Amino acid sequence: MSEILLCNKPIKADALAGQCGIDSSMIFGAQCRQPSMLTAYTPYLIGSESSNAAPSNAAQSMVNQLTNTAKNRELTNIALSFGGDNTLAIADISAKLQAAGVATMGPATSFYGNRVGGFTDAVKNYQTALMEYRHVIENKVTSSAIKSAAKQKAMAAFQKMQQGFHHELKSVTGAAKSSRGTPLTSGTRATNIARSSRNVAKLNITSQVQTSNLVKFSQHAKFLGNGLAVIDFASRVGNVHISHKSGQNWERELFIESSSFALSAGTGIATINAGTAALGFLMVATPIGWVGLIIGGLAVVGASAGASMWVNDFAKEDAGNWYDSIMSWIN
């Protein structure tokens, strides 16, 4: 496990020892440099306490990857306001949701879209409630009624997020174990984080996969200030941008992403549209009734999501070849 340190204002390395008990000899920047002054919005690696030796290769490559590709300003702000484990958990969830091909527009009109959008909304609401609570604390409001009302509101938002997205949260927070529980699993801990104002955030990264999830997440998340982060779960533009940045054939990537998007969206929408017409027809022509309508509706949504995911995968495999043959035909 590697610990990454992020801060939102320049801090002297020596001052860290006083602030959070981290010795300055344990801080490593990119390319393994040891800074005397920590720059704001830059990831630093915290070495292990036992040995003063240079950090492992894996840990170094994580810091280099974050320094070079992540949007560290957004990442720092999000890590500070969400808490470190929280940021990792959300980055993992968004990567999972994308991996299932659910950021596609086809199913987005139905079940999965609601799920992705609903999750973003739930996190956002929770976040807003937490920020209100923090605001109350920072302004030193003396009325305990206002304080406890704000805390209640944060807890309620937390409960709502927990109930709605139980499975997603469980699958990611299982990986990020902390003895105190993560803020996503413990409302009390999150309100404690909100109460203390900080300018240094720590991220405990356990694997390379998590690092690249973080990088992707930081590229799609935008911190709007006041604790409001907008998370764009759609990765398609990101893929094109990444291959443009790394000097690959970005036009080809654009073709692949847009054609697989159009095809999977088209398939999903056509299936849903034909399905709803068929259901309405069956409802009048046969005695299926409301129960049949609900079961049929689930079947239509399932078929639509399944078909558009398959089309998305298949189009991603084939679209590269189409692009190549179209280009050779034009030239």
Partner 1 sequence: MSILSTLFAFNAAAMFVALILYVIFGQVTVRKLRKNPATKDKLGIEFASGWSILNVAQAIALPRFITDKLKQSTISSMYAHTDELVAHTSKFDRILANLFYWLFTGAGLSLALIALLDTLGLFDYIESLA
Using CB under 8 A as the criterion, which residues of the chain lie in contact with partner 1 when the complex forms? 108-110, 259, 262-263, 266-274, 276-277, 279-281, 283-285, 293, 303-304, 306-307, 310-311, 314-315, 318, 322
Considering the complex, state which of residue 238 and residue 302 has its C-beta at the smaller distance from partner 1: 302
Distance of alpha carbon 131 from alpha carbon 81, whole angstroms? 8
Give residue for tokens 């399905």: 275
Distance of alpha carbon 24 from alpha carbon 286, whole angstroms? 76
Give min distance, CB of 315 to partner 1, in A.
7
Q: Is 203 helix (H, G, I), strand (E, B) or coil?
A: strand
Distance of alpha carbon 150 from alpha carbon 194, whole angstroms? 11
DSSP code for 126: H
Considering the complex, state which of residue 94 and residue 304 has its C-beta at the smaller distance from partner 1: 304
Give min distance, CB of 298 to partner 1, in A.
15
Give min distance, CB of 323 to partner 1, in A.
12
Distance of alpha carbon 75 from alpha carbon 201, whole angstroms? 10
Give which of 96, 108, 95 is closest to 265, Cα–Cα. Answer: 108
Considering the complex, state which of residue 25 and residue 310 has its C-beta at the smaller distance from partner 1: 310
Give which of 91, 65, 96, 64 is closest to 78, Cα–Cα. Answer: 91
Considering the complex, state which of residue 106 and residue 183 has its C-beta at the smaller distance from partner 1: 106
Amino acid code (one letter) for 178: S
Give min distance, CB of 273 to partner 1, in A.
5
Give min distance, CB of 295 to partner 1, in A.
15
Give min distance, CB of 116 to partner 1, in A.
13
Considering the complex, state which of residue 224 and residue 327 has its C-beta at the smaller distance from partner 1: 327
Residue 5: what are its φ and ψ, rounded to 5°?
Answer: -110, 135
Task: Provide the β-strand partners of residue 204.
Answer: 3
Considering the complex, state which of residue 145 and residue 291 has its C-beta at the smaller distance from partner 1: 291
